[in-house]
Amino acid sequence: MADTAKPKGGGTAKSSGGRRQNRKNDSPDLADESPKDLLDHYRRMLLVRRFEERTGQAYTQARIGGYCHLNLGEEATVIGLTSVLDERDYLFTNYREHGYAIAKGMSPRGVMAELYGRTTGVSRGWGGSMHMFDTETRLLGGYGIVGGQLPLATGAALAVTYRGGDEVVMCQMGDGTTNIGAWHESLNIASLWNLPIVYVVVNNFTGMGTTVEMASAEPDLYKRGSAFRIEGHRVDGRDVLAVRDAASGLVERARSEQRPFLLEAYSYRMKGHSVVDPAKYRTKEQAEEARDKANDPVAIFEERLLNAGVLTEDTKKEISDAVREEVADAADFAENSPHPDVSTLFDYTYATPVANESKRMPSEPVFAE
Amino acid sequence: MSVITYRQALRDTLRAEMLRDEDVFLIGEEIGVFEGSYKITEGLLKEFGERRVRDTPIAEEGFVGTAIGAAMLGLRPVVEVMTINFSLLAIDQIVNHAAKVYGMFGGQTSVPMVIRTPGGGGQQLGATHSQNIELFYSFIPGLKVLAPSGPADAAAMLRAAIRDNDPVLLLENLGLYNSKGEVPEDDEPVAEIGRAAVSREGSDITLIGYSRMASVATQVAQSLAEEDISVEVIDLRSLRPLDRETIVESVCKTGSAVIAEDDWLTYGIGAEIAATIQEGAFDFLDAPVRRVAMAEVPLPYAKPLESAALPSAESVTTAVKETLNAVGRRVG
């Protein structure tokens, strides 16, 4: 086990809500990086940022229904993690997954259309914000039940092993998930059966309004694989390159060593738990930290790229304009896509058609005249 | 045809399906080294190895969910949950995941898996090990729930369940594992899911049951025939989907109905059947629909108490006779 990004104060249980100081010192040197890749990371992070801002806006305008959880503040984690997955690798996530959907390869159009509940949505309008899914890009679901994706992802890794494949499964979750039974049962099974899976805990220090310290007797979450002999690492989730490197190492080791790993990436949730949550439970300090530019992964990376001369004001504007256009296009596409027809209501109850399946509408009697 | 037990029918079918399809594998507690709590998987670890017969930790949510995930990638897991009582530990994975994955993602991936699990009281196992909670699963669109009452159906339904692309819960029964019956050897019949069966034709009254109570219903019908009472027996076989037509058709013919169920009466499967009958056969009913069900207590351990709480051939016989009396036909 190694703490690859040990926060100041050692991340003790009593540290102020697990807050970490900004640290850029461990991040890979930009001089060793391909400028093209750096700009691509930046563009993708910005795309998630703008997409989520637009999503929040559309939600407050009642264009989007249900619950709506945004990746704002987690862009570096989203892009860092997904950048190391091959097309053939599988990703399972929780309900805060719009960014992951786009980053794994779904089109912003399809993701926004799903949010709008249209037929062109990635889940044909059946899933909504929490349930993005795409067989082709192998994001096998956002899941709304905390911990629900863990056994499923573990089973996907079992299927890979069963068939002798070399795919890796990545299973993303929030910090609160580490206390649910499915966590313990899944990690135990994955370790016993040597499954190629990387569990990633995105620690934003708060499960809804409950802090990690309130909920977890061992708040150093990366250590919590030790009961299952699963090696755990922690990384600064505000730093896209640090996340990329940490994840890349573990994904490749899961592939070559055929065993599970655990990665904790910490970053700040810039807004409330969901769009409608004003986060009044945050102390003044916590609210300031969440808003602090020094904790904003997009601002951090942008500043680094500008300082290193990788990004110029001109390219910055170019990228920003292109991203805004892509997001606007996604929203237009969603807005102009058809709503599902009521005649399709019974299309997806069963994959194998079955005798006597009920197709009764609410007002109809069980036996028609 | 050969005469084998319900247990043997299940075991033979598992083996045949594993030989037929490499994607079929077994997963559950004590199914390998221990050869199954009720020995349904006897000899299969030895024959197929650990890859195809996977012993799990005691972690129902974990291994049921793991099977769902494997099914999402196209494998065909057959999960054994030691008794249906323990399925409660996995209910989130069954109800919120197995039943939802196909619809919630717009039909992109199906969950071709089977959960085999026995219910049934009468074994002096006490309150937490004697429940019949198939109702919980029968309530959920997206699941299919089958309840074979004899060896031939056990084989045909398990075969159908394994080959189906949806999650199927196969309700077995502790009291039926040793029951014997004729099972075809060669032609491998595959049951049609969603169909009830008229397992005995009759004209005086319709008696409806499933799993062990369908078998009890047939015994009752046989003995009442000696008293010149003609009972039509319906074996529901499929709890979801429910074959309402077959039930109603029979009641329209006989004019009265008794439902025998191994679960509690209030909100039970019998309640759904009774509602179905009043919806579909109201004008044909000559007497109120009668339900025979468990006493509404946590099932006790002590034998006299347990026996008193459970429906039996005697209690079903009484209900049939009282219903016929209500119709105006004087019987015993």
Q: Is residue B227 part of a domain?
A: yes
pLDDT cut 90: percent of chain A above it: 87
- CA closest to B24 among chain A residues: A162
A223-232, A275-284, B75-84 — which is least confidently predicted? A275-284
- CA closest to A352 among chain B residues: B165
Model pLDDT, residue B330: 78
pLDDT cut 70: percent of chain A above it: 93
**B61 and A CB contact within 8 Å:** yes
Chain B residues whose CB is inside 8 A of the A122 CB are 106
Model pLDDT, residue A9: 32
- CA closest to B97 among chain A residues: A148
**Rounded mean pLDDT, A19-43:** 81
Model pLDDT, residue A25: 54
Which helix (H) or strand (E) segment holds residue B173: the answer is: strand B168-173
As a whole number, the mean pLDDT across chain A is 93
**A179 and B CB contact within 8 Å:** no
**Rounded mean pLDDT, A317-342:** 98
- DSSP assignment, residue A279? -
| Residue B299 shares a structural domain with residue B254 | yes
**A20 and B CB contact within 8 Å:** no
Domain of residue B156, residue span: 2-183
Determine whether the interchain pair A123/B243 forms a contact, defined as Cβ–Cβ distance below 8 Å.
no
Determine whether the interchain pair A151/B74 forms a contact, defined as Cβ–Cβ distance below 8 Å.
no
Model pLDDT, residue B185: 83
Give contacts of B 288-327 with A, CB under 8 A: none
| Residue B115 shares a structural domain with residue B230 | no
Chain B residues whose CB is inside 8 A of the A142 CB are none
Model pLDDT, residue A18: 42
Instruction: State phi, psi for A339 to the nearest 5 degrees.
Output: -75, 150
Chain A residues whose CB is inside 8 A of the B108 CB are 123, 133-135
- Residue among A119, A131, A164 at smallest CA distance from A255: A164
**Rounded mean pLDDT, A14-30:** 56
Q: Which residue has the higher pLDDT, A4 or A159?
A: A159
| Residue B140 shares a structural domain with residue B71 | yes
pLDDT at B283 over 60: yes
Q: What is the pLDDT of residues A40-72, one digit of tens each?
A: 999 999 999 999 999 999 999 999 999 999 999
Determine whether the interchain pair B72/A121 forms a contact, defined as Cβ–Cβ distance below 8 Å.
no
Helix A313-336 and helix A108-115, axial crossing angle in degrees, nearest 10? 50
CATH for B176: 3.40.50.970
pLDDT at A353 over 50: yes
Contacts of A119 (CB under 8 A, 6+ apart): A113, A125, A337, A338, A339, A340
Model pLDDT, residue B329: 81
| Residue reference for tokens 């004899």 | B150
Q: Is residue B258 part of a domain?
A: yes
Which helix (H) or strand (E) segment holds residue A187: the answer is: helix A181-192
B7 Cα to chain A: minimum distance (Å): 27
pLDDT at B226 over 60: yes
Determine whether the interchain pair B165/A351 forms a contact, defined as Cβ–Cβ distance below 8 Å.
yes
- CA closest to A132 among chain B residues: B105
Classify residue B189 by burial, with Cβ atoms within 10 Å: 0-12, 13-18, 19+: middle
Write down which residue in B183, B214, B231 finishes a domain: B183
Q: What is the pLDDT of residues B151-188, one digit of tens each?
A: 999 999 999 999 999 999 999 999 999 999 999 987 78
ipTM score of complex: 0.96
- CA closest to B105 among chain A residues: A123
Distances (CA, A) of A14 to A17, A175, A218: 7, 17, 11
| Residue B136 shares a structural domain with residue B241 | no
CATH for B271: 3.40.50.920
Tell me which of B21, B60, B66, B247 to substitute to probe the interface with A (most A C-beta atoms closer than 10 Å): B66
Distances (CA, A) of B60 to A192, B89, B288, B300: 15, 6, 42, 25
Instruction: State phi, psi for A198 to the nearest 5 degrees.
Output: -115, 115
In this structure, what token pair is assigned to residue B273? 């059947």
| Residue B277 shares a structural domain with residue B146 | no
Model pLDDT, residue B187: 72
pLDDT at B122 over 50: yes
A33-338 maps to CATH 3.40.50.970: yes
HSE, side-chain direction, 13 A CA sphere, residue B306: 17
B258 Cα to chain A: minimum distance (Å): 20
How many other C-beta atoms are found inside a 10 Å radius of the C-beta of residue B170? 24
Q: Is 0.90 surpassed by the pTM of this model?
A: yes
**Rounded mean pLDDT, A60-87:** 97
**B107 and A CB contact within 8 Å:** yes
Model pLDDT, residue A157: 98
C-alpha Rg value of chain B to the nearest Å: 20
A135 Cα to chain B: minimum distance (Å): 7
Model pLDDT, residue A21: 46
Q: Is residue B130 part of a domain?
A: yes
Q: Is residue B67 part of a domain?
A: yes
In this structure, what token pair is assigned to residue A53? 């801002």
Cross-chain CB nearest to B241 (options A141, A348, A356): A356
Instruction: State phi, psi for B98 to the nearest 5 degrees.
Output: -55, -45
Model pLDDT, residue B188: 83
| Residue reference for tokens 């809804």 | A208
Determine whether the interchain pair A151/B64 forms a contact, defined as Cβ–Cβ distance below 8 Å.
yes
Instruction: State phi, psi for B171 to the nearest 5 degrees.
Output: -85, 110
In this structure, what token pair is assigned to residue B249? 């058709």
d(CA A185, CA A228) in angstroms, rounded, equals 10
Among B60, B80, B172, B232, the one annotated catalytic? B60
pLDDT cut 90: percent of chain B above it: 95
Tell me which of A120, A195, A356, A361 to substitute to probe the interface with B (most B C-beta atoms closer than 10 Å): A356
Determine whether the interchain pair A366/B106 forms a contact, defined as Cβ–Cβ distance below 8 Å.
no
| Residue B220 shares a structural domain with residue B295 | yes
- Catalytic residue flag (residue B60): yes
Write down which residue in B152, B183, B214 finishes a domain: B183
pLDDT band at A12 (very low <50, low <70, confident <90, very high): very low
- Catalytic residue flag (residue B182): no
Tell me which of B23, B48, B55, B61 to substitute to probe the interface with A (most A C-beta atoms closer than 10 Å): B61
Beta strands in chain A (DSSP E): 90-93, 139-142, 169-174, 197-203, 206-207, 210-211, 231-236, 261-266
HSE, side-chain direction, 13 A CA sphere, residue A274: 13
Model pLDDT, residue A369: 66
Determine whether the interchain pair B106/A351 forms a contact, defined as Cβ–Cβ distance below 8 Å.
no
pLDDT at A15 over 50: no
Q: What is the pLDDT of residues A143-154, one digit of tens each?
A: 999 999 999 999
Q: Which residue has the higher pLDDT, A13 or A359?
A: A359
pLDDT at A299 over 70: yes
Chain A residues whose CB is inside 8 A of the B94 CB are none
Domain ranges, ordered by start, for chain A: 33-338
pLDDT at A126 over 50: yes
d(CA B26, CA B48) in angstroms, rounded, equals 10
d(CA A363, CA B191) in angstroms, rounded, equals 33
Identify residue B317 by its one-letter amino acid code: T
Determine whether the interchain pair A357/B194 forms a contact, defined as Cβ–Cβ distance below 8 Å.
yes
d(CA A69, CA A64) in angstroms, rounded, equals 12
| Residue B235 shares a structural domain with residue B317 | yes
Distances (CA, A) of B173 to A153, A157, B146, B249: 32, 33, 12, 28
**How many domains does chain B contain in total?**
2
Among B97, B129, B134, B232, the one annotated catalytic? B129
pLDDT cut 70: percent of chain B above it: 100
CA angle centred on A96, ends A90 and A97, rounded to 5°: 40
Chain B residues whose CB is inside 8 A of the A135 CB are 108-109
Cross-chain CB nearest to A151 (options B61, B164, B166): B61
Determine whether the interchain pair B242/A182 forms a contact, defined as Cβ–Cβ distance below 8 Å.
no
As a whole number, the mean pLDDT across chain B is 97
Determine whether the interchain pair A354/B243 forms a contact, defined as Cβ–Cβ distance below 8 Å.
no
| Residue B129 shares a structural domain with residue B173 | yes
| Residue B247 shares a structural domain with residue B174 | no
pLDDT at A14 over 80: no
| Residue B152 shares a structural domain with residue B248 | no
pLDDT band at A19 (very low <50, low <70, confident <90, very high): very low
**B150 and A CB contact within 8 Å:** no
Determine whether the interchain pair B69/A158 forms a contact, defined as Cβ–Cβ distance below 8 Å.
yes
The answer to whether A90 touches A153, Cβ cutoff 8 Å, is yes
pLDDT band at A1 (very low <50, low <70, confident <90, very high): very low
DSSP letter string over B268-323? SHHHHHHHHHHHHHGGG-SS--EEEEE-SSPPPSSHHHHHHHS--HHHHHHHHHHH
d(CA B134, CA B143) in angstroms, rounded, equals 11
| Residue B162 shares a structural domain with residue B216 | no
**Rounded mean pLDDT, B316-331:** 93
- Residue among A349, A144, A348 at smallest CA distance from B141: A349
| Residue B162 shares a structural domain with residue B253 | no
B189 Cα to chain A: minimum distance (Å): 17
Write down which residue in B151, B183, B215 finishes a domain: B183
- CA closest to A153 among chain B residues: B69
